[in-house]
C-alpha cells in the first residue's frame, strides 16, 4: 500500500472536515496516480467527497466501526485486520491510502511509499500528518521542481519506507 497526501509546511492536512488546498495540478496528480487503482479511506473522508460518493473509476474501500454502514460503490471494512485481508486481493503497488488524518497516522507504517505534495504555506488546521522529515525510517527519494499556483508554491515528493524495504 502507498500513501498519497497534500500537506502544509507544518504538516497540517485538514480543517473542519475539508482539505486545506485545492490546486488543479495537485488534483490532477492525485487523479492520474489513483485512476483505475484501489483507494482506501476513513469514513469521514468519504463523507467529505462531493455528495459523500466514492471516487469514480477506482475501487473504493472505506473503514468504519459502524457495522450498519453501507454506501453504494464502496467496499466496507471494519478493522485494520479486515482491511489487510481485503487488500491482499490487489497488487501492493495498486493500493493507495488517501486519508484522512486518523487513517494516515494509524496506517503509514504499513505503507511502502508516500507521495506527499508539500505546500509552502501554513493555514489553520485541526488535522495533522506525522512528520516524515523527522522519521529516520522514511527516506526522501524524489523532490520535484517548485511549482506555483496563484502565488502558492508547492513540490511533489516521494518518500520510501526503509523499515519495510529492510523486511523485503
Ligand atoms: N490533505 C490531504 O491530502 C487529505 C486527504 C484526505 C483527507 N484529508 C482531511 O482529513 C480530515 C479527515 O480526517 P479524520 O482523521 O477526521 O477522519 P478519517 O481518517 O477520514 O476517518 C476516520 C474514521 O474512519 C474510521 N476508522 C478509523 N480507524 C478505524 C479502524 N481501525 N477500524 C474501523 N474504522 C476505523 C472511523 O469511522 P466511524 O466513525 O464511522 O467508525 C473513524 O471515525 C478532513 O479534514 C479531510 O479533508 C486531507
- Of 5, 7, 98, 24, which Cα lies nearest the Cα of 55? 98
- pTM value > 0.75: yes
Hey, which of 43, 48, 54, 55 would you mutate to test ligand 1's pocket, going by the most ligand atoms within 8 Å of its Cβ? 43
pLDDT of 168 > 80? The answer is: no
Q: Is the peptide bond before 21 cis (omega within 30 degrees of 0)?
A: no
pLDDT interval class at 166 (50, 70, 90): low
Q: What is the pLDDT of residues 61-88, one digit of tens each?
A: 999 999 999 999 999 999 999 999 999 9
How many angstroms separate the alpha carbon of residue 48 from the centre of ligand 1? 10
CATH dotted code for 2-167? 3.40.430.10
State the pairing for strand pair 95-97/113-119.
unpaired
Q: How many residues does the chain have?
A: 168
Please tell me the predicted confidence (pLDDT) of residue 164: 86
* Closest approach atom of ligand 1 to CA 17: 45
* Residue-level pLDDT at 167: 58
Give the per-residue pLDDT at 162: 96
Distance 69 CA to ligand 1 centre (A): 15
- Tell which atom from ligand 1 comes closest to the C-alpha of 80: 31
Q: What is the mean pLDDT of residues 83-102?
A: 97
Q: 91 near 102, Cβ under 8 Å? A: no
Amino acid at each position: 500500500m502507498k500513501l498519497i497526501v497534500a500537506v502544509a509546511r507544518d504538516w497540517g492536512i485538514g480543517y473542519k472536515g475539508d482539505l486545506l488546498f485545492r490546486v488543479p495540478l495537485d488534483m490532477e496528480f492525485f487523479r492520474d496516480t489513483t485512476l483505475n487503482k484501489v483507494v482506501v479511506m476513513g469514513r469521514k473522508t468519504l463523507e467529505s467527497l462531493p455528495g459523500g460518493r466514492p471516487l469514480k473509476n477506482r475501487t473504493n474501500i472505506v473503514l468504519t466501526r459502524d457495522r450498519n454502514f453501507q454506501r453504494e460503490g464502496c467496499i466496507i471494512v471494519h478493522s485494520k485486520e479486515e482491511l489487510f485481508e481485503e487488500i491482499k486481493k490487489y497488487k501492493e503497488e495498486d493500493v493507495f491510502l488517501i486519508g484522512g488524518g486518523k487513517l494516515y497516522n494509524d496506517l503509514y507504517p504499513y505503507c511502502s511509499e508516500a507521495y506527499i505534495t508539500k505546500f509552502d504555506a501554513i493555514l489553520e488546521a485541526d488535522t495533522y500528518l506525522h512528520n516524515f522529515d523527522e522519521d529516520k525510517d522514511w527516506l526522501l527519494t524524489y523532490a520535484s521542481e517548485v511549482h506555483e499556483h496563484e502565488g502558492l508554491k508547492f513540490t511533489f515528493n516521494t518518500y520510501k519506507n526503509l523499515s519495510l524495504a529492510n523486511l523485503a
